[in-house]
Amino acid sequence: MEGVDHLAYERNKANFDVDDMKIVWAGSRHAFDVSDRMARLVASDPAFRKDNRVMLSRKELFKNTLRKAAHAWKRIIELRLSEEEARKLRFFVDEPAFTDLHWGMFVPAIKGQGTEEQQQKWLPLAYKMQIIGCYAQTELGHGSNVQGLETTATFDPETDEFVIHSPTLTSSKWWPGGLGKVSTHAVVYARLITDGQEHGVHGFIVQLRSLDDHMPLPGITVGDIGMKFGSGAYNTMDNGVLRFDHVRIPRNQMLMRVMQVTREGKCVQSNVPRQLIYGTMVYVRQTIVSDASSALSRAVCIATRYSAVRRQFGSQEGGVETQVIDYKTQQSRLFPLLASAYAFRFVGEWLKWLYMDVTQRLQANDFSTLPEAHACTAGLKSLTTSATADAIEECRKLCGGHGYLSSSGLPELFAVYVPACTYEGDNVVLLLQVARFLMKTVSQLGSGKKPVGTTAYMARAEDLLQCHCSVQKAEDWLKPSVLLEVFEARAVRMCVARAQSLSKFPNPEEGFAELSADLVEAAIAHCQLIVVSKFIEKLQQDIPGKGVKQQLQNLCNIYALNLLHKHLGDFLSTGCITPKQSSLANDQLRSLYSQVRPNAIALVDAFNYTDHYLGSVLGRYDGNVYPKLYEEAWKDPLNDSIVPDGYHEYVRPLLKQQHRNARL
């Protein structure tokens, strides 16, 4: 059956142009071309094989990752790839490695927080990978509360050095990727102390290992923190532990773009505004939202293809059974996830624009949009990563028993993705930050200070608190203006209600702590509104290609109406809609599932993922699932021998035991 496309029948049903949708998904023709070229380059290179990952021991797995990272760098140099191409190549290699932190955190930290002089010294070394860096912020005792970090950097005016020290066990750096076994340098975050005075947490470039023999330098204790969740998955990364025993570094290795320490030990604020640091944070969180759409689309691609291959029940007089994808119970769980993948893709695209906008404003010393941009990226990071982690697990369940096999690709995808809910800001803590910003915005509504950006709708709070949804028939729910108003009304009403509850507390901080669970719900409502509104904005653009816009409209409506269905309590209790209108929304949702059904396979084909990148027997492009599952089973090391090791020691004596009557 090799070479037969078992899903051709499904692909022929599509009533839109898949190639045009591929361009929409990629963002542009150029982005598609780069992505397609790099995906094929990786898939065709046996050095990047990954199907045996879950069977390797930790040491073998880690060595294999080092080999792949070195091979990827070799290919980048040989082919003279651009930065964009190199980033895509690493993406398709699809294996967490020390390089992720080197390029994703170490380099941006120096760019964002280093002076011109420091950048000229350190960046050329980092770009050529003559030094390998990581980002050492999180400690054993503190993660989210950065101001609570315990590592100290004390200035010694006698020698013009900082003394980096770990005063307690809980001050050990714990978790930084690349730190455990590979990094030669780190940007270390520590409490700055000069002349007995504390000056907050700052970044310092510290060399950890010798560039000759890779041994830790004097005063440095460093190692890996041990196995993590799942097989393969994130165990390819050397998350590390690091302790300092009075390690001395030159004064000029403190990142001094925002604040300098002089030769005399005086702290001087530079003329560069402190807010610039937030620009880096917006950038990192924007990439996390884009990564969410990649991981989610991958899981959805596997589940959708397999749902079309798998048949169960419904056979009439010995005929073929029903495709699982034709069951409404499957559609109502799967299609909202498909819609979410596209929704997160477009909100990620918009965040790229926001990052550029914020950067330009910062350079012009305009900080007016910064608090809103900061809250917005924090909220979207939280919303998209939580939804994606849950969705990958849901996709595994949608694949039935076979989804539990490692060869389905879903267990490893889940295990490798789920830490995104914690790193770069714990998702609940981030929502509380968003809630704080929303409460401040509501409190300023009467002051004439206009809300900006994604909170601009709050300027219409008076109308939104009173408006009534105009839906009278199911199709009315397809009007973007109707959807938008309902989501805006829900967010405003929840925020205003929380603000009123808060005002009853004499101490606002006590009130915030007491009402934090309710405040998180208001933050979620606001963030879901952002995703819905950005999807709607995307559809107002000119989108070429036969039938492409119609499919995206269907997905946008599914995304919004499914959220309405899931959070019905919010919409009904705030009086945004009536029970009758919610029933009509449900009718419309069912109708939309029927419209997406013939296009489902083509909609996941538009992601343009190679079988190598998907890494799933169930999600194969050709749908040839069963022979490949059977083939895969025999590759397990347990099947290397017919009689298992341990049979003669443990099983045979059991089978051959002489039964004696025993009084138990």
At residue 664 the predicted structure's pLDDT band, cuts being 50, 70 and 90, is low
DSSP 8-state assignment for residue 253: G
CA distances (Å), origin 273, targets 253, 284, 364, 406: 20, 19, 11, 49
Cβ neighbours around 31 below 10 Å, total: 14
Which of 101-115, 272-286, 606-620 is predicted most confidently?
606-620
Residues of the chain above pLDDT 70, percent: 99
Residue 197 DSSP SS3: strand
Q: Is the pLDDT of residue 661 over 70?
A: no
User: Which pLDDT value is given to residue 535?
Assistant: 98
Q: Where does 399-479 have alpha helices with state H?
A: 410-417, 427-443, 461-466
How far apart are the C-alpha atoms of 115 and 455, rounded to whole Å?
Answer: 34
State which amino acid sits at residue 456: A
Cα Dmax for the chain? 92
| 68 sits in which H/E element | helix 58-78
What does pLDDT average to over the chain? Answer: 95
How far apart are the C-alpha atoms of 623 and 10, rounded to whole Å?
Answer: 10
Q: HEC profile for 375-387?
A: HHHHHHHHHHHHH
Q: Which structure tokens are listed for 465?
A: 């608190």
CA distances (Å), origin 299, targets 88, 101, 187, 277, 501: 19, 24, 34, 34, 41
181, burial (CB in 10 Å: exposed 0-12, middle 13-18, buried 19+) = middle
End-to-end CA distance of the chain: 57
Q: What residues contact residue 174 under an 8 Å CB cut-off, 6+ apart?
A: 138, 139, 140, 225, 240, 241, 242
Query: Active-site residue numbers?
Result: 424
Domain 277-605 has CATH 1.10.10.10: no
Q: Is the pLDDT of residue 639 over 70?
A: yes
Give me the phi and psi of 539, to 5 degrees please: -75, -15
**pLDDT for 90-101, tens place per residue?**
999 999 999 999
Residue 427 DSSP SS3: helix
**pLDDT for 587-627, tens place per residue?**
999 999 999 999 999 999 999 999 999 999 999 999 999 99
124, burial (CB in 10 Å: exposed 0-12, middle 13-18, buried 19+) = exposed
Q: Is the pLDDT of residue 541 over 90?
A: yes
Closest to 515 (Cα-Cα) out of 443, 422, 431, 442: 431
List every span in the chain annotated with CATH 1.20.140.10.
277-605
**pLDDT for 419-444, tens place per residue?**
999 998 999 999 999 999 999 999 99
CA distances (Å), origin 642, targets 56, 609, 638, 645: 21, 37, 9, 9
Q: Is the pLDDT of residue 519 over 80?
A: yes
Q: Which structure tokens are listed for 303?
A: 């589940």
User: Which pLDDT value is given to residue 274?
Assistant: 75
DSSP 8-state assignment for residue 106: I
User: Which pLDDT value is given to residue 659?
Assistant: 62
Question: Which residue in this structure is represented by tokens 């949608």?
Answer: 398
Q: Is the pLDDT of residue 662 over 60?
A: no
Class of domain 107-272: mainly beta
User: Which pLDDT value is given to residue 277?
Assistant: 74
**pLDDT for 361-417, tens place per residue?**
888 888 888 889 999 999 999 999 999 999 999 999 999 999 999 999 999 999 999
DSSP 8-state assignment for residue 321: P
**pLDDT for 463-477, tens place per residue?**
999 999 999 999 999
Taking the CA atoms of 432, 202, 131 and 63 in sequence, report the sign of the dihedral they define. negative
Q: Is the pLDDT of residue 356 over 70?
A: yes
User: Which tops the pLDDT comparison, 607 or 144?
Assistant: 607
User: Which pLDDT value is given to residue 367?
Assistant: 85
**pLDDT for 489-513, tens place per residue?**
999 999 999 999 999 999 999 999 9
User: Which pLDDT value is given to residue 314?
Assistant: 87
How far apart are the C-alpha atoms of 132 and 125, rounded to whole Å?
Answer: 9
User: Which pLDDT value is given to residue 508?
Assistant: 92
Residue 519 DSSP SS3: helix
How far apart are the C-alpha atoms of 320 and 326, rounded to whole Å?
Answer: 13
User: Which pLDDT value is given to residue 540?
Assistant: 97
**pLDDT for 563-583, tens place per residue?**
999 999 999 999 999 999 999
In this structure, which long-range contacts are made by residues 191-198, counting pairs with CB atoms below 8 Å and at least 24 apart in sequence? 191/149, 191/150, 191/151, 191/152, 191/153, 192/153, 192/155, 192/254, 192/261, 192/267, 193/152, 193/153, 193/154, 193/155, 194/154, 194/155, 194/261, 194/265, 194/266, 194/267, 195/155, 195/157, 195/265
Q: Do residues 265 and 155 make contact, with C-beta atoms less than 8 angstroms apart?
A: yes
Closest to 181 (Cα-Cα) out of 226, 239, 106: 239
At residue 446 the predicted structure's pLDDT band, cuts being 50, 70 and 90, is confident
Q: Do residues 166 and 151 make contact, with C-beta atoms less than 8 angstroms apart?
A: yes
DSSP 8-state assignment for residue 298: H
List every span in the chain annotated with CATH 2.40.110.10.
107-272
DSSP 8-state assignment for residue 244: E
User: Which pLDDT value is given to residue 467?
Assistant: 94
DSSP 8-state assignment for residue 449: -
Q: Do residues 93 and 107 make contact, with C-beta atoms less than 8 angstroms apart?
A: no
Closest to 492 (Cα-Cα) out of 517, 518, 520, 529: 529
How far apart are the C-alpha atoms of 623 and 632, rounded to whole Å?
Answer: 15
